[in-house]
Each structure stands twice: as structure tokens, then as C-alpha cells.
Amino acid sequence: MSFVSKLQMAAAAGALVAAFAVSPAAAERARFEFWYGLTGDLGERVQETCKRFNDSQQEFEAVCVGQGGYPNAVQNAIAAYRAGKQPTVVQVYDGGTLDLMLSGAYVPARKLMADNGYEVKWDDYFSGIANYYATAKGELLSFPYNSSTAMLYWNRDAFARIGRDKAPSTWEEVEEVARELKKAGYECPLGFNFDTWQILEQFSAIHGEPIATKNNGYDGLDAEVVFNKTKFVDHVKFFKRMADEGVFVVRTKEAGMDIVPSFASGACQMIQTSIADHGTIGKTAAPDMRWDVAMLPVWKGTERRNSLVGGASLWVLAGKSEPEYKGAAAFLKFIGTPESAEWWSTVTGYIPVTNSGFEAMKAKGFYDKAPYKGRELAIESLTYTPTTPITRGIRLGGFMQIRKEVTDALQGIFAGKVGVEEALNEAAERSNAVLRRFEKTYAGKSLL
């Protein structure tokens, strides 16, 4: 045997020894990929979730990969699926729900858990959360994950200066308070941006107003938007009038500072944003700044309805191996425990998605602690009334594009380039064109 051959044999033997030197647990772990859209601090918390799961057991390893935003997560997962390189689990935000439903590229939540021997109390999920991600018959196809709803944030210190100690519950009160704050020298009594989730979707839900026909799209792909014919039109006119008077102020990244840092810095005294921002504001606000949250205001005479859930759910994609599905099921069971719900709410601001998780946190006094006080109001808002065909969610094809059409219209309105009714009518026309293209793409398919 030549010297070279001996070297090759030695190298092979060394490699074999090295392979067996790897710990049995590491060698046996079944890996599965989880793609998520959250970024920044929230993205880091997702990575921490994955580490907590991986450290909790030795059988599976979650490989968690950020996609740089919600839209990217959906688009990248679809492209990867077509190429046969899809992850096992993907985080899909509310606006992409129908796209996943009609794709057929998923394993239903109930099937995944049943196939892997897990019992799940599906009715434990809050209906206001579950119905957004469920079929018209109420069957959950994905797993509610990071859930939120919009709230009114208000600066207690600024309110105290004008002799007030309660948040406004109506928009008429908001106007009164904002004018008093302006008179007291505050330059931005209420800051707002053009996020349609708050100004259109949440507003419509709590006022019992439809965004589209066919029960907001749940009853058929032939739905048409109607936001240009509801109370939303007058609401935008109100905002425009207040903005023109300098009482409400546009606060966006493009304008120099978005609403969350504007509030945390004390530049704006009221904003509407997600309860998920509660943690961020808590971390970034001045230590001596007193602030709080309240349910979104309604117009006087309104019979308040439940607000809509925001955030995302986790979908398990088709075409993966049995070990990957076992790992995904174990991961989803892990994040669904009350302990995980409390940890997730602690480090983010998102709310628990199950009754058991919420009750366990209440029993431990979670919401009595200063950093978290007020977050329970998000649950109250989501469950204020039983969901109706209008308030269970929005099931429109191409909803990401429809949101953009409304955002573009709002930008034009507040830039003074176009009137409110004209802009919203044009946005509705373009949105309906999006719906017709989506309907044509899925011709012959019916909603579940």
C-alpha cells in the first residue's frame, strides 16, 4: 500500500472518529426551518423563542430565518415552494391569509397536530383572533402567533397639564382634548400615519362598518370594496380638517419620525398604534414619562363592536418530511403553552392568543405590574362583543395591494393633492381591479 493510500485511509478513519465524536443528541436532532417576517427587536425575540425551544429538548432543532418583513416572508415562501425549497413553517401576516388558503400549499393545523399525537383545545383560542385565520366554518388552518390590536396611547403628564386624567372614549372628546393640548403649547396633540390597519380596518370594525361586500370577502371571491361609501369617508374628512388646523400632525418615517418614536419621545401626546408597541414604548420612553393605553375612540352614538386582530399566524407548508413535521408540531405545541404565552407577552407586548394563557397570566398578577399594565385592554377590545360577519376579519384577495392603494390615497389627501372623496373613490376603483384579477387567477375555486 502506498504512503498516499495510507494517508487517505488515516484521514477517512479520522473523519469517522470525528463524526462519532459529535454528541448523540446533536446527531439525532431533526432540523426544520421557520421563516419569519418580524424585524428589529421583535425579530430578535423570535430568535430567542427558537433558542428556548431548542434548549428545552434534544430531539428537534428549529432553524429560524428572518425574511426582512412580512411581505417578504410571504413572497419568499411562495417562491421557495415553487422551487421545492420551502421552509416547514412560515409566518404569514393577516393580509396574506387568503393567498395561503387558496394556494393549497399547506398542511391544516388540526391535521398536523393530530398526525403527530398532540391534543389541542382549539376552542381555547380567542374567537376574535381565531376567526381571522379560520375558514368560514370556523376551522383553524394556521396557528395564531403574534397577535395584537390597535389602541390609543396617551400621555398622562400632558393630560394632567390641561386638567384631564382619563383617555377620550369618543372622537368628539379627542377633538376637545387635542385642541386643549394645542392651546397649552403642545405642537403635536395627536400624531398619525397612513397605516390602513389602524385608520381604516380597526375603525371600520369597531363601528360595525364593512370594508367590502360579501361580509368583507368571507362569502365569495366576487366581493367589492365599499370603504368609499361608509363612515370612513367622514372620518378621513375629520382627520384632514384637524390636520389642516395643525391639531393632528402627520408623523411618518418619511416626515422624519414615525408615530411610535414620536410618542415615546414626548413629541406627540396621542397616537393610535398596536398593543405590540407597548413594550417598545416602555423601553424607549423617558423614565419619568407617565403614559397609558385605552381602547380606540368611537364616534358618539356608535354601538361599539370588537376590534380586529393584527399580527400573523404560523402556516405549515406541504411537501416536507415526516421528521420535519414532527419537529414543527413539537415547536407549535411549545409556543402554545401558557408559560410561553407569558414569556412572549413579557418580552414583546403581543397578547396571549388563548383564554388559558390569558387567565394564567391574570392569576399571576401579570397585568398588575407597571410595565404591562394596560395590555389587558387589548383583550377587552378584541372580545368587546362576539364577532359578527363584519367584525371577524377581512378575507380579500390581493389585500396587500389594496392596503397600498388606500395608503397612496391617504398620502395624496394629506399632501393636498386630491380631495377626500375623489381619492377614496379612485382607490376603491383600483382595489376592485385587484380583486377582479385575483378572482380570475383563482377561477373555479371557492372559499373554505
Which whole number is the average pLDDT over 11-24? 40
Which whole number is the average pLDDT over 177-194? 98
Pick the CATH number of 150-307+398-441 from 3.30.70.1450, 3.40.190.10, 1.10.3720.10, 3.40.50.11540: 3.40.190.10
Q: How confident is the model at residue 403 (pLDDT cuts 50, 70, 90)?
A: very high
pLDDT tens, position by position, 416-429: 999 999 999 999 99
Please tell me the predicted confidence (pLDDT) of residue 433: 98
pLDDT tens, position by position, 210-248: 999 999 998 999 999 999 999 999 999 999 999 999 999
Asked if 28-148+309-368 and 150-307+398-441 have one fold, the answer is yes
pLDDT tens, position by position, 60-75: 999 999 999 988 998 8
pLDDT tens, position by position, 354-378: 888 888 888 989 899 888 889 999 9
Which whole number is the average pLDDT over 194-205? 96
Instruction: Give yes or no for residue 180 having a pLDDT over 80.
Output: yes
pLDDT tens, position by position, 259-283: 999 999 999 999 999 998 998 899 8
Instruction: Give yes or no for residue 5 having a pLDDT over 50.
Output: no
Lowest mean pLDDT among 123-127, 306-310, 372-376, 438-442: 123-127
Please tell me the predicted confidence (pLDDT) of residue 104: 84
Please tell me the predicted confidence (pLDDT) of residue 442: 87
Instruction: Give yes or no for residue 20 having a pLDDT over 50.
Output: no
Per-residue three-class SS string for the chain:
CCHHHHHHHHHHHHHHHHHHHCCHHHHHCEEEEEEECCCHHHHHHHHHHHHHHHHHCCCEEEEEEECCCHHHHHHHHHHHHHCCCCCCEEEEEHHHHHHHHHHCCEECHHHHHHHCCCCCCHHHECHHHHHHHECCCCCECCEEEEEECEEEEEEHHHHHHCCCCCCCCEHHHHHHHHHHHHHCCCCECEEECCCHHHHHHHHHHHCCCCCEHHHHCCCCCCCCECHHHCHHHHHHHHHHHHHHCCCEEECCCCCCCCHHHHHHCCCECEEEEEHHHHHHHHHHCCCCCCEEEECCCECCCCCCCCCCCEEEEEEEECCCCHHHHHHHHHHHHHHCCHHHHHHHHHHCCCECCEHHHHHHHHHCCHHHCCCCCCCHHHHHHHCCCCCCCCCCCCCCCCHHHHHHHHHHHHHHHHCCCCCHHHHHHHHHHHHHHHHHHHHHHCCCCCCC
Instruction: Give yes or no for residue 448 having a pLDDT over 70.
Output: no
Q: How confident is the model at residue 15 (pLDDT cuts 50, 70, 90)?
A: very low
Instruction: Give yes or no for residue 49 having a pLDDT over 70.
Output: yes
pLDDT tens, position by position, 289-339: 999 999 999 999 999 999 998 889 999 999 999 999 999 999 999 998 888
Which whole number is the average pLDDT over 35-42? 91
Which whole number is the average pLDDT over 116-135? 87
Please tell me the predicted confidence (pLDDT) of residue 21: 39
Question: Does the model's pTM come out above 0.85?
Answer: yes
Domain spans of the chain, in order of start: 28-148+309-368, 150-307+398-441
Write down the mean pLDDT value for the chain: 90
Architecture of domain 28-148+309-368: 3-Layer(aba) Sandwich (3.40)
Q: How confident is the model at residue 208 (pLDDT cuts 50, 70, 90)?
A: very high
